[in-house]
Structure 1
Amino acid sequence: MAARLRLPLARTGEPRWSSPARCAVLVLAAFLNTWALSINQWANTYYSAAVLGMTRSWKAFFYGAMDAGSFITVDKPPLALWLQALSARAFGFNNWSLLLPQAIAGVIAVWVVQHVVRRGFGPAAGVLAGLALAVTPIAVVMARHNNPDMLLTLLLALSLWAASNAIRSGRLMPLVWCAVAIGLAFNTKMLQAFFVVPVIAVVYLVAARPTWPRKLLNLGAAGVAMAAVSLAWLLVVDLVPSSARPYVGGSTNNTVLDLLLGYNGLGRVEGQAQIMSPGMMGGGPGGGSPGGMPGGGTPPGGGMPSGMPPGGGPGGGGMDDSSLTRLFSGEVAPQVGWLFPLALFGAIAVVVHLWRRPRHDTQRADFLLWAGTLLVTAGVFTFASGIWHTYYTVALAAPLAALVGMGVIAMWRLTRDTEWWGLLLPVSITATGFWSAHLLGQNEDFLPWMGTVVAAVSLIAGAAMMVPLLLPRGRRDGKRRVIAAGALVGVLASLAGPTAYAVTPLSTPVQATFPSAGPSGGSGGPGDGRDGGRAMADGGRQSNRMQPSGMRDNGDQPDGNRSDGGRGVRGERSSGEQVTSQLMRYLTDQHEDETWLVAVVGSMVAAPVILETGQPVMAVGGYNGNDPTPTVEELERHVADGELRYVWTSGSSGVRSMGGEVDTAVVDASMAWVARHCAIVDPAAYGGDTTSTTHLHDCRGAA
C-alpha cells in the first residue's frame, strides 16, 4: 500500500520531494493567474468586444470580426480570440470566462518548462525553472489579460518541447508536432512565431541522430506541415471574395497577406508609419489607458502617449527607442529581467559543464534550444525599430526561466567538480541580489525596505558559499551543506523581487493597454480598460460599471466634425466626444432590424458601445479610422439595404500621423457623404450638447 501511495508522488530514481514540489509550483502559478481574475474586467476592450460578437455569430467567429455584423476584423489572427469565444459560449460572456483561457495557458506553460528542464537537468532544475516562470511579473500579467501573448508563449514552449523530443528520438512525428505548434503560434501573432524556427532547425541538424539526408527530409516535411497550418486561415480568408467577408483590419488592401507582411510583419522590426490618436493625448476613448492598445487610444500594436518619452511609461515600451540597453531599462527589466544575472552566469556554467559532451548529447541540445530562442528573441526586441511594447517580453519569460533552472544546477555541480568555476554560483547569487535591489530601488514608495534586505541576504549567502569554495576540492566535501544552504537562501532572495511585483496584479487592475506589474502597473489613468464596458451576458443584461462618456473634447484641437458639405467632417480626426450612455439608450430604443446599431469612426469608439449594448457597431476605418473602409459605394449600399441607419460623425478616433503618411481619403469621403445626405438628429433627443461639433446622423432614406 505504501509503495502504491508513493507512485503518484515521485518518479523512479527521483527524491520524494520532487513531485510534491512540482505540484506546489503549479498550484502557485494557478493562484497567481486566477485569483481575483475578474478585477481586470474587460482588460483590452478592443478584443473583448470582438469576442462578444464572435459569441453571437459563427461568421464573426471564423474571421475574428470586430462585431457580430462582421464589418471588419481585428488586427491579429483569431486563434486566441477563438479560445476566448469558446470559453464565453461555454460559461457565458463575462470577465472571468474571457480571461480564463489565458490563465490556463500560463499554468500549462509553467508545466511545460518544468517538465522539459526536469527531464534533461534533474528535478531540482525543473522545479526552479517552473518557479522562475511562475513568478515572472509580465508572465503573471499576461496570463490575466486578453491580449494573445500568453497563448503565443505557451505554443512556442510546446514547439521547443516537441523539438527536444524529435532530437531525442530521431523520429519524424515529434518534429511535425513542433511545426504544428509553430503554425498555431503564427495564427496567434503572425511572424513573431517564427523566431524559434532557425534555432530549432540548426540544433536539430547538429544534434539529431538520423543521417544527414534523413534529417534534411524530416525538416522539409516539418516545413510543409508548418506552412500548411500557418497559412490555412490566411489563404481561406484571402480566397473568399471581399464582398462575402469582413474587411481585414490593419491591412491596406483588404488581405491577410498584406497584414502579415506589413503591420504584423516586417513593419514591427523595420519601422512603419506610426499613428497617434486622442487617447494618447489624455481622456482616451473607449476606456483605455493613455497611450495604450485597443480600448485605450493607440494603434492595436503600438503607440505612445503625447509628451511621454520613448519607453512609454510603465509597461509602455515605446517605439523607435531600440538600443542595447532596452531590455535593461527601468520600464522593461522590472517586468522580465530580475534574473538576468543568474541566467547569464548559469549559461556560462552550462557551457563549461557540457563542453566536452558528444554532439548528440540531449542535455546540450535542450540548452541550445532554450538559449538560442532567448538570444534570437532578445536580439529582435533589442533592435526592433517599429512598434514595440514592454509586454511583448513575455516571450522571453519561458526560455529565461529554463536557463535559470539549468544554470543554477550546472553551477551547483561545478562547485563539486572544478576548482574555480564553482565560484560562479556565489558570484551569480550576489550579483542577482544587487541587481534586484537596484530594480526595487527605482520606486521608493514600493516596499522601500526590500531592496536592502535582498542585497544583504544575497551578500551573506554568497559569502557563506565562498568560504568553503576557496578551500581545496578535497576539503569541500564536509562543507556541502553550507554551500547548499547558501545557494537555497540566495536563490530565494533572488526570487523575492519578482514575486513582490508578480502579486500586485492580484489586488490592482492592470492597465488595459500597456499591461504591466508592479506599483504603477495598474495606474491606467483616465478611462483605462477597467471601465471599458458592462458585461453583456445572456441577452444583454448589464453588469459591472462603465463610463462611456470618459472621452473628453479637447477644445484646442481642430474641429473634426463640421457639417459643412463634407469638407472636413473629421478634419484631422482630432478629439471628439465619446458615445454617451444617453445616446446609447436612444440608439437602442430606435433600433429595429438594422444589422448595425450605429456606425462610428474607429474601433476604440465602437468597442464600449458593443459591450454596453450587446449590439453590432460598425467601426468605420477600423481601429484608428484610417483603414480604407467603407467606401462611399459600400456605405450607400448598407444604408439602401436597411443594414445601417445611424452614423455618429465623431472625430474621437483621432488619427494623427507621427513621421508617416496616413491615407484617410476613403473614410473622409464616406463621412463627407454622410454629412451631405443624412439628417442631423436633434441633440435634445438624446441629451446631447447642442454646442458640440459632433453629430448623430439619421441616414434613413438618404441613399
Structure 2
Amino acid sequence: MTTERRLLPRLFLGPRDDPGWARPALWAVLALSAFLGTWSLSINEWANTYYSAAVLGMSQSWHAFFFGALDAGSFITVDKPPLALWIQALSARAFGFNTWSLLLPQALAGVLTVWIVHHVVRRSCGHVAATVAAVALALTPIAVVMSRHNNPDALLALLLAVALWAASNAIRSGKLLPLVWSAVAVGSAFNTKMLQAGFVVPVIAAVYLLAAPPRWPRKLLNLGAAAGVLAVVSLSWLTIVDLAAPGSRPYVGGSTDNTVWNLLVGYNGFGRIEGQDRIMSPGMGGGGGMHVSGAMPGLAATPGGGMPEGPGLMIGGPGGENWSRLVSSDVAPQIGWLYPLALFGAVAVIVDLWRRPRRDVQRADFLLWAGTLAVTAVVFTFASGIWHAYYTVALAAPLAAVVGMGVASMMRLARDSGWWGLLLPTAIVTTGFWSAHLLGQNSDFVPWLAPLVVVETVLATIAMTIPLLLPPVRRHRHRRSIAVAALFGLVTVLAGPTAYALTPLSTPVAATFPSAGPSGGPGGPRDRFGGHPGNGGFAGMPTRMRGDGQPRFAGQAEMREGPGRAEKVSAELTRYLVEHHRDETWLVAVVGSMVAAPIILDTGQPVMAVGGYNGNDPTPTVGELEEYVRSGALRYVWTSGSSGVQAMGGEVDTKVVDDSMAWVASHCTVVAPAEYGGDADAKTHLYDCQSPTRAS
C-alpha cells in the first residue's frame, strides 16, 4: 500500500529530480490536446463520406475489411492503403458505427503524437524545450483539424513520430532492435499513405550513420537489416493483393491496371511529386481547369462546371513548383504561425551545438527532426502533382520539435552568450509581426488580436533586450526577468494559432478541404460537399444512426456530377431503391464513389461505384456488368447523364465506363420518374436491369 501511495503522486508529479511544474505541465498539454480533438466532435458527423462509407462496409464484411473496399459488396477499393481505415473499422465493430467510433482514433493519435514529441525532446533538451514543443504541436491548427477528421493523415503523423522516436533510441544505444522498430513504423506509415511515409527514411539513415556508436561495418549491416524489415512491412499488403486473383477481390481504386503497384508508382506515388494527367479529385482546385465532358449515349450532355473560384482553391489545389506555397495565405495559417521562431531557433541550436562531438545525442535528435522538417518542406514546395494544404500536418511534429529545441538553445545563449543572446528577442518580435500578418489576412476574425500581438511582443522584446545589452555580470542578475519576458512573448505569439485551433470546435471541419480558421477567410473551411449526409427525411424508411449517435431517417445523399455542380439523390429515390431491393449484392450502381458514399451511409447497403472515385477507373467492363446483372447481383443503375471527365493534363480515357453505361442504356428499362418522385425532364435516369420488359 505504501508503494502504491508513492507511485500515484509520482505518476502525476514526475520523478523527484524533475522540476515541480514539469509533469503537471505535461498532463495539462495532453489534456489540452484531448480537449481540442474531442470537444463537440459530433458536429463533423461522417466527415469525409468517401472514407466513412468504406469504414461502414469494412465493419460489415471481413473481405471488404482486408482489401479496404468502399462497400461491403467489395466492388472497388478506396485509393489509399487500408491501415487507417482498419483502425476505424475495428472501432466501429467494437462500439457501433457513429461519429465517435469513426473519429476518436484520430483524436487519440493526435494526443499520442504530442506525448511522443514531448518525450523525445525532453530526453535531449530538457523540460522547457519539451513543454514548448508539446504546446506548439497541440495548438497547431492543422494538427487539431486532422485529429477531428477521418482522413489518414493523423495516423501518418503519429507513425512518423514513432519512427523518429525509435530512430533516436537506435542512435543512442547503437542496437539493431530500435532501428527495426523504426522500420516497422515507417512501413506501417507506408500502408497508411504510401510514398509520403518515405520522407523520413533518408534522414534516419543519414543521422544514424553520422551519430550512432557502432563501427561503420556494423552500422551498414544494421541499416541493411532495417531496410529489409521496411521492405517486408511496406510491401506485404501490396503483394498479397496483387497476387490475389482479380476475380476474388475488389478492383484497386485509383489504378489503371487493377494493381496496388500501379497505384503506388502512379496516383499515390511519383504522380504526386512529378504531376499526372489523371483526373483531379473533387475540390482539388485548379481554377476550373477540370470539367465534365461527354455524355452517355442517348442522353444529353451535362454542362461542365468549373471549380468555385476564390482563395480556397489552393487549399485543395493541384501541384506546381511554387517556392512560396508553404507561406501562402491558404497554407501558412494552418501550419506556419511559428515559422520565424523555428528558423531563429534552428540557428541557435546550430550555434549552441556545433562544437559538440559527432555522436552527441542532442545534436542527433535535432538533426532527425530538423532534417525531416526540411525534406518534407522541400518535397511539398516543389511537388507538381495533386497537393492539399492538410498534407502539412506531416510538418507539425518536426516543426514543433525544432521550435522547442530552438527556444531552449536561445534561452541558453541569452543567459551565457554575447550577441547571440539577441536571437531570442529577435525571434519573438519577428514571430509576433508574422502572426499579426496572418491574422490581418482576415480582418473580421478577432480584429483586436493582431494589434494586441504586435504590442505585446514589442513589449516583451524590449523587456528582454535591455538586460541582454548589459555586461555579463549585470545581465546574470536579470536572468529571471529575461525568462519571464520570454514566457510572456511565447504566450503572445501562440495567441494566433490558438484562435485558429479553436474554430473547429464550433464549425464542422470541411470534408474535402479540412482546414482551421474563420469560415470563408484565408485558410478557413469553405467546402462542405461530400461532408455530411443529407438531412431530408420521411416517415416509414429504415432508420440509421446519425453521426452524433442519434437515430435519423434516411435522407438526401449528396453527389457530384462534376466539379462545381451538385445533384441530389432524392429521399424518394432512396426509399424506392430500398423498398424494391431483394437479395441483390448491390442496392444500385452509380458512377463515382462520391455519388455512392452518401447512399451507403444513408441506407447501410452496398452501392457499386462505377469507375471509382471520379468515375474514370476502367471498371466494370461491359462483360463484367452484364455478368453482375445476369447473376442477379445487380438490378438498378442510376446515371447522371455524363461520365467523361477532363483533367488539367488533358482528356481522361473513360471508354470503359462509357461503354458500360451505353450497355445499360440499350439493355435495361428506364424506371418512370413518377415511381420515385423524379423529374421527367431531368437528365438523370434510373434503370431497372432485371425488369421483364428490359431489352434483350
Q: What is the TM-score of this pair, normalised by structure 2?
A: 0.91
The residue matched to 1:530 in structure 2 has which SS?
A: coil
Tell me, yes or no, if the aligned pair for 2:557 and 2:599 is still in contact at 8 Å.
Answer: no
| 1:13-69 CA distance string (max 9 Å, x none) | 221110010110000000000111111111100000011100110000000001000
Question: Compared with structure 1, are the counterparts of its residues 254 and 443 closer, same or farther at alpha carbon in structure 2 (3 Å cutoff)?
Answer: same
Q: C-alpha separation between the residues in 2 aligned to 1:58 and 1:370?
A: 38
- The residue number in structure 1 matching 2:329 is 330
- The residue number in structure 1 matching 2:91 is 87
- The residue number in structure 2 matching 1:557 is none
Give 1:543's match in structure 2, choosing from 533, 547, 551: 551
Mapped pair 1:674 → 2:664: yes
How far 1:278 moved relative to its partner? 7.7
Question: Compared with structure 1, are the counterparts of its residues 305 and 168 closer, same or farther at alpha carbon in structure 2 (3 Å cutoff)?
Answer: farther
Question: Compared with structure 1, are the counterparts of its residues 582 and 542 closer, same or farther at alpha carbon in structure 2 (3 Å cutoff)?
Answer: farther
Mapped pair 1:616 → 2:606: yes
Give 2:10's match in structure 1, choosing from 2, 7, 10: 7
Residue ranges of structure 2 left out of the alignment (5+ in a row): 292-304, 537-542
Tell me, yes or no, if the aligned pair for 1:165 and 1:174 is still in contact at 8 Å.
Answer: yes
Q: How does 1:214-363 map to 2 (within 5 A)?
A: 214-275=218-279, 306=307, 308=309, 312-313=312-313, 316-363=315-362
Give 1:586's match in structure 2, choosing from 550, 559, 576: 576
- The residue number in structure 2 matching 1:625 is 615
How far 1:238 moved relative to its partner? 0.1
| 1:633-658 CA distance string (max 9 Å, x none) | 10011111110011112246663332
Root mean square deviation, CA, Å:
2.4
Q: How does 1:408-427 map to 2 (within 5 A)?
A: 408-427=407-426
How far 1:322 moved relative to its partner? 2.8
- The residue number in structure 1 matching 2:151 is 147
- The residue number in structure 1 matching 2:389 is 390
| 1:135-166 CA distance string (max 9 Å, x none) | 00000000000000010000000000000000
Q: C-alpha separation between the residues in 1 aligned to 2:27 and 2:262?
A: 45
Tell me, yes or no, if the aligned pair for 2:560 and 2:594 is still in contact at 8 Å.
Answer: no
How far 1:105 moved relative to its partner? 0.3
Q: C-alpha separation between the residues in 1 aligned to 2:625 and 2:550?
A: 31
Mapped pair 1:27 → 2:26: no
Q: C-alpha separation between the residues in 2 aligned to 1:526 and 1:515?
A: 9
Q: Which amino acid aligns with 2:129?
A: A
Q: C-alpha separation between the residues in 2 aligned to 1:544 and 1:654?
A: 35
Q: Which amino acid aligns with 2:336?
A: G
The residue matched to 2:237 in structure 1 has which SS?
A: helix
- The residue number in structure 2 matching 1:442 is 441
| 1:427-446 CA distance string (max 9 Å, x none) | 00000001000000100110
Q: C-alpha separation between the residues in 1 aligned to 2:108 and 2:606?
A: 29
Question: Compared with structure 1, are the counterparts of its residues 586 and 281 closer, same or farther at alpha carbon in structure 2 (3 Å cutoff)?
Answer: farther
Tell me, yes or no, if the aligned pair for 1:45 and 1:529 is still in contact at 8 Å.
Answer: yes
Mapped pair 1:197 → 2:187: no
Give 2:532's match in structure 1, choosing from 527, 530, 553: 530
How far 1:580 moved relative to its partner? 1.5
Q: How does 1:451-600 map to 2 (within 5 A)?
A: 451-520=450-519, 523-525=525-527, 527=529, 529-531=531-533, 536-537=544-545, 543=551, 548=556, 550=558, 577-600=567-590
Residue ranges of structure 1 left out of the alignment (5+ in a row): 285-289, 292-303, 555-572
Tell me, yes or no, if the aligned pair for 1:509 and 1:522 is still in contact at 8 Å.
Answer: no
**Stretch deviating more after TM superposition (681-690 or 693-702):** 693-702
| 1:364-422 CA distance string (max 9 Å, x none) | 00000000000000000000011001000000000000001000010000012211100
Give 1:110's match in structure 2, choosing from 111, 114, 133: 114
Mapped pair 1:56 → 2:60: yes
Give 2:165's match in structure 1, choosing from 146, 161, 165: 161
How far 1:481 moved relative to its partner? 1.2
Tell me, yes or no, if the aligned pair for 2:559 and 2:595 is still in contact at 8 Å.
Answer: no
- The residue number in structure 2 matching 1:369 is 368
Q: C-alpha separation between the residues in 2 aligned to 1:523 and 1:7?
A: 43
Tell me, yes or no, if the aligned pair for 1:601 and 1:651 is still in contact at 8 Å.
Answer: no
How far 1:277 moved relative to its partner? 7.6
Q: Which amino acid aligns with 2:245?
A: P
The residue matched to 1:254 in structure 2 has which SS?
A: coil
Tell me, yes or no, if the aligned pair for 2:34 and 2:111 is still in contact at 8 Å.
Answer: yes
Question: Compared with structure 1, are the counterparts of its residues 638 and 104 closer, same or farther at alpha carbon in structure 2 (3 Å cutoff)?
Answer: same
| 1:275-328 CA distance string (max 9 Å, x none) | 25887899x9xxxxx99xxxxxxxxxxxx962536x644x71411343111100
Question: Compared with structure 1, are the counterparts of its residues 197 and 246 closer, same or farther at alpha carbon in structure 2 (3 Å cutoff)?
Answer: same
Q: C-alpha separation between the residues in 1 aligned to 2:647 and 2:597?
A: 23
**Stretch deviating more after TM superposition (515-524 or 75-84):** 515-524
The residue matched to 2:256 in structure 1 has which SS?
A: coil
The residue matched to 2:494 in structure 1 has which SS?
A: helix
The residue matched to 2:36 in structure 1 has which SS?
A: helix
How far 1:233 moved relative to its partner? 0.2
Q: C-alpha separation between the residues in 1 aligned to 2:593 and 2:387?
A: 21
Q: C-alpha separation between the residues in 1 aligned to 2:177 and 2:535?
A: 46
Equivalent residue pairs, number: 663
| 1:47-100 CA distance string (max 9 Å, x none) | 000111001100000000010000000000000000000111111001111001
How far 1:104 moved relative to its partner? 0.5
Q: C-alpha separation between the residues in 2 aligned to 1:494 and 1:18?
A: 21
Tell me, yes or no, if the aligned pair for 2:643 and 2:654 is still in contact at 8 Å.
Answer: no
Q: C-alpha separation between the residues in 1 aligned to 2:644 and 2:630?
A: 28
Tell me, yes or no, if the aligned pair for 1:575 and 1:654 is still in contact at 8 Å.
Answer: no
- The residue number in structure 2 matching 1:124 is 128
Q: Which amino acid aligns with 2:162?
A: L
Give 1:648's match in structure 2, choosing from 638, 644, 649: 638
Tell me, yes or no, if the aligned pair for 1:679 and 1:699 is still in contact at 8 Å.
Answer: yes
- The residue number in structure 1 matching 2:299 is none
The residue matched to 1:55 in structure 2 has which SS?
A: helix
- The residue number in structure 1 matching 2:300 is none
- The residue number in structure 2 matching 1:294 is none
How far 1:527 moved relative to its partner? 4.2
How far 1:530 moved relative to its partner? 2.9
Question: Compared with structure 1, are the counterparts of its residues 326 and 479 closer, same or farther at alpha carbon in structure 2 (3 Å cutoff)?
Answer: same
Q: What is the TM-score of this pair, normalised by structure 1?
A: 0.90
Tell me, yes or no, if the aligned pair for 1:510 and 1:524 is still in contact at 8 Å.
Answer: no
The residue matched to 1:387 in structure 2 has which SS?
A: coil
Q: C-alpha separation between the residues in 1 aligned to 2:551 and 2:526?
A: 21
How far 1:492 moved relative to its partner? 0.3
Tell me, yes or no, if the aligned pair for 2:317 and 2:387 is still in contact at 8 Å.
Answer: yes
Mapped pair 1:604 → 2:607: no
Question: Compared with structure 1, are the counterparts of its residues 5 and 389 closer, same or farther at alpha carbon in structure 2 (3 Å cutoff)?
Answer: closer
The residue matched to 1:140 in structure 2 has which SS?
A: helix
Q: C-alpha separation between the residues in 2 aligned to 1:330 and 1:279?
A: 18
Q: C-alpha separation between the residues in 2 aligned to 1:395 and 1:577?
A: 34
Q: Which amino acid aligns with 1:620?
A: V
Over the matched positions of the two proteins, sequence identity in percent amounts to 67
Tell me, yes or no, if the aligned pair for 1:176 and 1:222 is still in contact at 8 Å.
Answer: yes
Tell me, yes or no, if the aligned pair for 1:683 and 1:690 is still in contact at 8 Å.
Answer: yes
